[in-house]
Homo-oligomer: A and B are copies of this chain.
Amino acid sequence: MIDGQPQRRKGAPVLRPSLTLGILGGGQLGRMMAMAAATLGIRTHVYAPEAESIAFEVCAEHTCAPYLDKAALKAFAERVQVVTFEFENVPTATLERLQHYAPHLRIHPSASALSITQDRINEKTFMAGLGLETAPFRAVDSLETLEEAVRAIGAPSILKTRRMGYDGKGQARIMTPHGAAEAYEAIGRQSAILEGFVSFSREVSVLCARRADGAVATYDVCENEHRNHILSRTTLPSSILPATARQAREAAIAIAGALDYVGILAVEMFVVGEGAGEHVVMNEIAPRVHNSGHWTIEGAETSQFEQHVRAVMGLPLGSTVRRGAIEMDNLLGEDMRRVPDLLETPGAHLHLYGKKLALKGRKMGHVTIVR
């Protein structure tokens, strides 16, 4: 479905109370996922390497071990029936090993979906292959190939590491053709992608949930404001035209389908052009629940976290209907001074993640207002 309600189906699987969902990653996304699973009566087992993982505080069991610890992975694989993850940088070797130890284990999303989205070149090539518009891009693996790419794409352009980038990490902007060497140094001379600069009016994203049987559900397009490359605010409804919103939702559905994806994915897009020329240009795919979807906890009939759990557990998808006009603000370390006020603001739904240190730029929580 593009909007409205997921289709009703016959013979949907029943929740078995003995099921345990394994979650790789112990940050706020894993934490909110575990809480959504608990709401449906599903036990969770969180696996993460960091002793201070905040998701450990809301799960039935946890394992604190490196992602490639064979004994720990084996024990984990034997104790869960379904595995998912909260972030795209989990090693694909971890997923392969889990599957090896427990051949019947269901792992969603799949290692193949992950391997495409973990690499910016693969990701962009994949989207272009679906006929979706992206920024012009070139692979870079040396200063020479970077200089060649800058000549082809022009400046301004953005150099990004192929792998492991998020929240603007591993990126350098090239403002003139002479900036190539400096930018290449800045990202640590790694394999990279050069992307042409897109002159956009707004940034939007679409969350799409997909089940193994192909059933899909998308949420309303949301508008995102970033500050220092970190999401600052998400608002709905978006001011884009209905036709643009439809194009955005259809693009997300096409991506999820082509990846044979199971779970929630988010596609970040740029809005370019005006009037009849308005359209979206694909930016990035996040193969997971996404910060720009936190508004769904209070703002949609089914939160992205519950929707992801439903999808990976093989349950029917829930309604994605929006419940009002939405404003979701991230609370970074420096925003924690807003907390006392937010606690007294009627209708402000405050979410704090329980992180001990309010470091500058660190995501400490978020707040959603639904009107």
Give the interface of A toward B (CB within 8 A). 5-6, 8-9, 12-15, 17-18, 31, 34-35, 38-44, 56-60, 301, 310, 315-316, 318-319, 321, 323, 339-340, 343-344, 346-347, 349-356, 364-365
Contact = CB atoms under 8 A, between A and B. Distances in A.
A8 B344 contact: yes
Nearest to A315: B343
Contacts of A12: 340, 343-344
Given A12-B343, A319-B347, A41 B310 contact: no
Given A40-B352, A57-B60, A352-B41, A9 B344 contact: yes
Contacts of A18: 356
26 contacts: A6-B346, A9-B344, A12-B344, A13-B340, A14-B339, A14-B340, A15-B352, A17-B356, A18-B356, A35-B35, A38-B58, A40-B350, A40-B351, A41-B352, A41-B355, A41-B364, A42-B352, A42-B354, A57-B59, A58-B59, A58-B60, A301-B349, A310-B343, A316-B343, A321-B346, A321-B347
A307 to B, nearest CB: 12
B343 A41 contact: no
Contacts of A13: 340
Contacts of A319: 346-347
A39 B343 contact: no
Nearest to A324: B323
- The interface residues of chain A, by DSSP majority, are classed as loop
B17 A355 contact: yes
Given A12-B340, A301-B346, 14 more contacts: A6-B346, A8-B344, A9-B344, A15-B343, A31-B38, A35-B35, A35-B39, A41-B354, A42-B354, A43-B57, A43-B354, A57-B60, A316-B344, A319-B346
Contact of A346 (B5, B340, B364): B5
A209 to B, nearest CB: 14
Contacts of A42: 352, 354
A204 to B, nearest CB: 25
Contacts of A364: 41
Contacts of A35: 35, 38-39, 58
A12 B338 CA distance: 12
Contacts of A350: 39-40
Contacts of A39: 35, 350-352
Between A12, A13, A39, A350, the greatest number of chain B beta carbons within 10 A of the residue's beta carbon is seen for A39
